[in-house]
Amino acid sequence: MSLLYVTLGSNDLLRSRAFYDSALAPLGLVCGVANDEELGYGPASPKAGDRTRIFYVVKPLLPLPATWGNGTMLALKATTRAQVDQFYAGAMAHGGIDEGAPGLRPYSPNFYAAYVRDPDGNKLSVVCETAE
């Protein structure tokens, strides 16, 4: 089994766009759709047959404010530690909240990760599991 896409809610898509454009660029993810209801991110150069968008930030369909889940986190894969550092810097420069600066974690010998919350409180992690 593999994930098809992930969706997080936002109360301010313009603010979220600035945050996610900056934070996701080092991972090669770009905004491919942006309107009053959603932002859709995917690979800058998707391979033939791959989804063009794998991550969405949306205004909730229910007429209630978007909220974050306690214990919920989205973890994204980085191929280098530099990407983790760049993600963290971009997130922090655009309203991110620090939940753990880039560094090695005790989960495995090369588990290099950063943790942030987006401006709506959604928790994100970017992890590189190589020695680079």
Q: pLDDT of 70-88, one tens digit each?
A: 999 999 999 999 999 999 9
| Tally of structural domains, the chain | 1
| DSSP helix/strand/coil, 14 | helix
Report how far residue 52's alpha carbon sits from residue 38's, in angstroms, rounded to the nearest whole number.
Answer: 15
- Residue 1 in any domain: the answer is no
For 48-74, write each residue's pLDDT tens digit: 988 899 999 999 999 899 999 999 999
> For residue 80, what are the domain limits?
6-61+72-128
- Residue 85 in any domain: the answer is yes
For the domain that residue 24 is a member of, what is the CATH number? 3.10.180.10
Report how far residue 56's alpha carbon sits from residue 39's, in angstroms, rounded to the nearest whole number.
Answer: 5
- Residue 94 in any domain: the answer is yes
- Residue 82 in any domain: the answer is yes
In this structure, are residues 112 and 105 in contact, taking their beta carbons and an 8 Å threshold?
A: yes
Report how far residue 123's alpha carbon sits from residue 88's, in angstroms, rounded to the nearest whole number.
Answer: 12
Q: Is the pTM of this model over 0.85?
A: yes
| DSSP helix/strand/coil, 84 | helix
